[in-house]
Chain A
Amino acid sequence: MTSNRIDLPQGTLDLLILKTLALGPQHGWAISERIQQVSSDALRVQQGSLYPALHRLERRGWISARWGASENNRRARYYELTRAGRRQLEAEESAWKRLTAAVAQVLETT
């Protein structure tokens, strides 16, 4: 249950959530599963930190929430990316890419 789980810094979790939601509205559990899937199990979101992050993003207006029915007919809270959220996603994505590129460059030259 442990080994190659990477701890996500707070900012990155936000980025991942936003990206996941770019594909369409999801509820919390589904978001967590998706991140896990897509990263080939390397990234496991601490379930405890997912919901605070979601609420925080909701507070900042980048995602909106509504109640809906889940796959097995349970009442679940669905999150959706807002327009502001979409802009934020673009900004953060490009910032991330620039950051990783710069770090990679430094690592290669030494």
Chain B
Amino acid sequence: MLSDLLFRLRALLRSKAVEAELDEELRCHIDLQADEYMNSGLPREEAYRRARLLFGGLDKTKEQCRDARGLRLFESLARDVRYGYRMLRKSPAFTAVSLLTLAIGIGANSAIFSAVNALLINPYRFPESHRIVRVDARHISGKNQGAGYRDYLDWRQQNNVFEEMAIVPWTGTYTLTGQGEPQRVVGGETTHGFLRVLGIQPMLGRFFTEEEDRPGAPSLAVLSYAAWQTRFGGSPDVLGRQLMLNSVSYTIIGVLPRGFAFPGVQTCEFFTALCENSSNNRFQHQYDVLARLKRGASVERAQAEMTTIARRLEQEYPETNKGWDIILTPIHSAITQETKTEVLILFSTVIFVLLLACANLAGLQLARASSRAREMAIRASLGASRGRIVCQMLTESLLVAVSGGILGLAFAQWLMEALRLAAPEELALDATMHLDSAVLLFSVAASILTGILFGLAPALYAAGSDLNSVIKGDAGFGSSAPAHVRLRSFLVAGQVALSLVLLVGAGLMVKDLLVVLRLQTGLRTDHVLTFALAPPQAKYASPQRQAAFYHDLMERLRSAPGFDAAALVDTLPMTGGMTGGGFQVEGRPKAADWVDTLVQYNGSTPGFFRTLGIPLLRGRDFDDRDEASSAPVAIINDALARQFFPNEDPVGRKYRDDYDGKWRTIVGIVGSYKSQQPMRPPMPAVFRPLAQTGLRWEWVTARTNGDPEKLAGLVRAIVRAIDPDVPVLQLRTMRQVVSDSLSQSSLMTRYLVGFASFALLLAAIGIYGIAAYSVRQRLREIGIRAALGASYGSLLGSVLGKGVRLSIIGVIVGIPTALAVSGMLASVLYGISPLDTAVFVAVPAILILVALAASYLPARQAARVDPMVALRYE
């Protein structure tokens, strides 16, 4: 076979020389034959004539020789590519639009999906993350869960199936001093194995060692990347410097890598070692544990082993560990449970937009089929086999598809970079935002497949039809035959219908997410100042002292000029913190699983609701009647009222919760507001009067009647006047609080709107392409009418009218399918109804407008053109 290969290689590389040789060889044959004839007496010319006749078709023989050389495939491929390229250059509009469609379909789709994916799921991509599992201690009764430190130590020591185990950082707020104004910062305590479980290395320095987990070890801290940048300017000599937290000095030993993220610790600025302290006895069940499986160990095996360990511990420590099981959950299913819905929505949107892009491509190819059909028919009549024609069309489609695919990939990369830059620093999205390769591949494959499939249309059409009539132009799409006019109209209407369905689907889903994200927080955010106070423990040890301090503060604030109202709350809205628990109504049985009756717990002082503009719907706010010695009362929000008291008046009813177990009487109902993420609807919440539960570290909210920012100085002065040792922390306007919490969701909103815009753009391109093309095909007809005396206006009107009529038909045809699709989406939408009017009105209107615009330009051109030119147009 070697000789075969060499032969082919030579023919390929030195094709010109080989071609010349072939030529010479065949000519030589003819010469020799002619010589023969001349020898038998014929004159030279006659001899040559006969020799040639005898030989037969010279070109055909050459062709067959080339065939025999076995290079047919390569040569024809090269030829097809060159030809395809020329043809594409000849119709720049088609090529440009196709490439644009592919670029958008692939690029924008993939990039935006990946970005939103990163925001929603924030996929914590750790190396071999399938080996990371949560190790949960759960009581058989379901009432309690969480591991104690001792449990963690025993598990770690006794197992053979985990490479490393660690306690999930226990977050808390600390007062940071020594860096300007005292500040409240969030930090986490964790054990030394935490980074190892996740498979991550610190960027600078190191993490804790096993010894440093023990009591008595030096106080050390590891910084987050963001903290390192903002507090130490990213300087490389940060190691060894000190961090003053809660009056204890911590030495910095490491910095975490950029973009490090884990659920619950996004805002942690630093981590310290969590050690066992005297209060960590076996009765405490508060920690979550994470572990990394050894290579090759399965979750099942690990589960079995941990269950054995649990039983062993039960036997050893019956009072504390009886009835406690250990449950393993792989980390991915644990994280994504919450966001499944949103991801599903997002994914469906991607599919829809992709379909739109493919439909565009298909429409474009089909429209182009008409002029190509004639060309194909001519080729067929010249002797090209059907296979050859199909091959050539395929090459051309592949050219477009591959170029478009490459453009799409480039666009996706660029867009991804832009999106990454647009994300604010503190969201630390860098590492998690990358092109989701699955989506990318899928988009590329889908687009290419469509391009190819519909590129074959002209070839198959031509190969199967009556060549004669196609060439004459009577058949093929470029004619005025009724069947073909109908076909063109069908294409326009079809494109509109398809776009309608797809845009309605995409529109519903985008709007749904936007609605859920909407800025309606349920609060009035203007003219409100908020800040936190952390009265030092030493000075304010007793509840009376604390109460006296706050009382004094409230009085001064309320009487100060510029302030209308002031109140305290223990959880500031929109700051992401939440305490919650079960809720049991008097007279009803306690729920089996407290999680079913989860409500948020809050504490507030009288006037809080008014300060933040939360409406009082029924009953009353707290007042001076409600103090430590009087009957316990509470206020609920209307979300809770709807959930627990759908048919009765809650005011006057009693309930009990897990906070302190006391029975409280409900005295009022207030409006619900979003307390944590803007992406979640308001939770049911209950408020207790802080006077009855005690004041510790609270948030102060104050309504101002002037610009809240200007009054910041006054606030500090007031607090300093009461006690200069109490620092004022996190002084912000409510608006800043809200916008801080919204920074993530507003980004998401921007992404989603961009997504919808791309979808619309795609639809517009598709409709424009086909409508414009169809108008051009009618050029001859228009020319005839112009020659017969039709006016410019009437011509324009006729074309536009047809465009509008077709698009309306398309809309009508598309609506039933759109309704069906929205019905399917009903279970997924939770912010809007599937029959959302805005979407169902806006989308058809836009499409009709687009069709109108699409018909207008070419119609104008056509109506203006010289009838003679139009008549001769082919």
Q: Are A59 and B4 in contact (CB under 8 A)?
A: yes
Cβ contacts B6-50/A at 8 Å (1 or 0 each): 011000000000000100111011011101000000000000000
Q: Is A29 located at the chain interface by the 8 A CB criterion?
A: yes
Q: Is A98 located at the chain interface by the 8 A CB criterion?
A: no
Please report the C-alpha to C-alpha distance between residue A77 and residue B3 in the assembled complex, in whole angstroms: 19
Chain B residues, Cβ within 8 Å of A51: 25-26, 29, 61, 64-65
Q: Are B69 and A29 in contact (CB under 8 A)?
A: no
Known: A28-B25, A75-B28. A59 touches B7 (CB 8 A): yes
Chain A residues, Cβ within 8 Å of B7: 58-59, 61
Chain A nearest CB from B540 CB (Å) reads 99
Chain B nearest CB from A18 CB (Å) reads 16
Chain A residues, Cβ within 8 Å of B659: none
Please report the C-alpha to C-alpha distance between residue A70 and residue B67 in the assembled complex, in whole angstroms: 27
Q: Is A49 located at the chain interface by the 8 A CB criterion?
A: yes
Q: Are A55 and B32 in contact (CB under 8 A)?
A: no
CB nearest neighbor in A for B26: A51
Chain A residues, Cβ within 8 Å of B60: 48
Chain A nearest CB from B31 CB (Å) reads 6
Known: A59-B8, A70-B28. A48 touches B55 (CB 8 A): yes
Chain B residues, Cβ within 8 Å of A61: 3-4, 7
**Residues of A within 8 A of B (CB-CB), count:** 23
Q: Is A72 located at the chain interface by the 8 A CB criterion?
A: yes
Chain B residues, Cβ within 8 Å of A58: 7
Chain B residues, Cβ within 8 Å of A37: none
Cβ contacts A40-84/B at 8 Å (1 or 0 each): 000000111101110110111100000000101011110000000
From A48, A72, A77, B64 is in contact (CB under 8 Å) with A48
Chain B residues, Cβ within 8 Å of A77: 21, 24-25, 28
CB nearest neighbor in A for B8: A59
Q: Are B56 and A48 in contact (CB under 8 A)?
A: yes
Q: Are A52 and B61 in contact (CB under 8 A)?
A: yes
Cβ contacts A15-55/B at 8 Å (1 or 0 each): 00000000000011110000000000000001111011101
Chain B residues, Cβ within 8 Å of A49: 64
- Among A27, A46, A47, A61, the most chain B Cβ lie within 10 Å of the Cβ of A47
Chain A residues, Cβ within 8 Å of B538: none
Q: Are B64 and A29 in contact (CB under 8 A)?
A: no
Q: Are A70 and B32 in contact (CB under 8 A)?
A: yes
Chain A residues, Cβ within 8 Å of B69: 55, 59
Chain B residues close to A by CB (< 8 Å): 3-4, 7-8, 21, 24-26, 28-29, 31-33, 35, 54-57, 60-61, 64-65, 67-70
- A and B contact pairs by CB, cutoff 8 A, 29 listed: A28-B25, A28-B29, A29-B32, A29-B33, A46-B56, A47-B61, A48-B57, A48-B64, A51-B25, A51-B26, A51-B29, A51-B61, A52-B65, A52-B67, A52-B68, A53-B68, A55-B65, A55-B68, A56-B68, A59-B69, A60-B4, A61-B3, A70-B32, A72-B35, A75-B24, A75-B28, A76-B25, A76-B32, A77-B21
Chain A residues close to B by CB (< 8 Å): 27-30, 46-49, 51-53, 55-56, 58-61, 70, 72, 74-77
- Additional 13 contacts, C-beta under 8 A, given A48-B57, A59-B4, A77-B25: A28-B29, A30-B32, A47-B55, A48-B55, A48-B56, A49-B64, A51-B25, A51-B26, A51-B61, A52-B65, A55-B68, A76-B32, A77-B24
